[in-house]
Each structure stands twice: as C-alpha cells, then as structure tokens.
Chains A and B, each alone.
Chain A
Amino acid sequence: GQNIDQPTEMTATEGAIVQINCTYQTSGFNGLFWYQQHAGEAPTFLSYNVLDGLEEKGRFSSFLSRSKGYSYLLLKELQMKDSASYLCAVRDRNTDKLIFGTGTRLQVFP
C-alpha cells in the first residue's frame, strides 16, 4: 500500500519563500507529482520528479530524495494568487494511477 503525509495548513507572506514537505511510503516508486488546487476547482499539474534532485520551473521548484521517501515543493516570490491547496501524489511501479495526499492548504497574506 501507500502512505503520503504532508502538513495540513501553512501560512506565508506575500513575496516570501515557502517549502511544503511530503513524505511517502510505497511498495514500488515510479514518480512523484505536485498539483495545485484552488477551492472548488480541478487539480492542475505543477511538477514531476522521478529521479533524485531538484526540478526548477519558474517560481516553483520540486525536490526528490527516493532513499528518504521525501519531496518538497518550493514556492518563491509568493503572490496572493498562490493561496491554494498543494497536493503531493505518488505513482507506484506497474500501475498507472496517482495516489494523492491530503493536500497542504497554503494561505498567503499581504
């Protein structure tokens, strides 16, 4: 089975940097995804890591350590519109489905 843990809520200030952590246990790892979800809307893809290291995409970066079962999403130069839930999702080897964590609700204050 799979278990995915991430903090329930975080707050940060506009312009700051925030790091959202995700730990996972899985029987066979085949990729970790980060999605953003605004309230009442669909999840939208942010990043994908399958190998160890940092993937950078504009203001957002995602890091993966497979040996530690750990990932983080780093958001720089926070904007008010970044207030949303951030979902960590893991894919097992030999399956095509994504399993989602409970999500981290981020609130950005002025």
Chain B
Amino acid sequence: EPEVTQTPSHQVTQMGQEVILRCVPISNHLYFYWYRQILGQKVEFLVSFYNNEISEKSEIFDDQFSVERPDGSNFTLKIRSTKLEDSAMYFCASGRGMDEKLFFGSGTQLSVL
C-alpha cells in the first residue's frame, strides 16, 4: 500500500536554529498537510496546501513557519528560528480529494534544546 514518508525520524536542534522537515506524500494525492502533536496532547492542525499554495493555516503557523513543494514529490516544513515550545512530533499527511481520508506519515520527532 502506498504511504507517506517523512525524514528524518528524529531531529535535535539548538534553540534559534532553522530546521527543515521533509515529506514525500502519496503520489496521486493533491492535498497536503502538516500537523503536530506535543507529547501527551492532541494532534493539532498547522497548515494545508493545495494547488501549490497554502489553503489554510492555524494560528500556530506564524511567520517562523513556511511550507514548500519544491518539486513534484517533496513537501517541506521549515521552522526558521526554533523555540523550546516547538518540540513536538510533526506529522505530514496527504489526501486524494477534499472529502477523503488523510494518510499520515510516521512523523518527525523534533527536540529543541
């Protein structure tokens, strides 16, 4: 079965550093998402991306965050200057259509020290 892949699985960084989290969505999917989950808390929506632009973003997704689909396969989340509170599991997800289920990648555990 096709799957969403994310790299790296773990990322440790110093506060203030930039990180890029990478995702390869399922190939025939058109809708792409980033979610995050702080340890012990719920899965939170960050941003959705369709037709090469952001379609929706949450209030968490401030100017420190950006997303890009640099080629036909990759979908990246960049955090420009990480903060301690950015430590979380970041999940990429993709969907075939607007009303369809989302498939989640296995996540990148980001630890900001």
Determine if A98 is an interface residue (Cβ-Cβ < 8 Å): yes
Residues of A within 8 A of B45 (CB): 97-100
Interface hit among B70-78, B80-88, B93-101: B93-101
For B41, what are the chain A residues with a Cβ–Cβ distance below 8 Å? 102
Please tell me the number of chain B residues within 8 Å of chain A, measured between CB atoms.
Answer: 24
B28-85 residues with Cβ-Cβ distance < 8 A to A are: 31, 33, 35, 41-45, 48, 50, 55-56
CB–CB B102/A98 < 8 A: yes
Q: Kindly supply a per-residue 1/0 record for chain A positions 48-79, scoring 1 wherever the CB is within 8 Å of any chain B CB and 0 otherwise.
A: 10100000000000000000000000000000
A33: interface (CB < 8 Å): yes
Asked if residues B42 and A101 are in contact (CB atoms below 8 Å), the reply is yes
B interface list, Cβ under 8 A from A = 31, 33, 35, 41-45, 48, 50, 55-56, 89, 91, 95, 98-99, 101-107
**16 new A-B pairs (CB below 8 Å) besides A87-B42, A97-B48, A100-B35?**
A31-B99, A33-B101, A37-B43, A43-B91, A44-B104, A45-B101, A45-B103, A48-B101, A95-B56, A96-B31, A96-B95, A97-B56, A98-B102, A100-B43, A102-B42, A103-B43
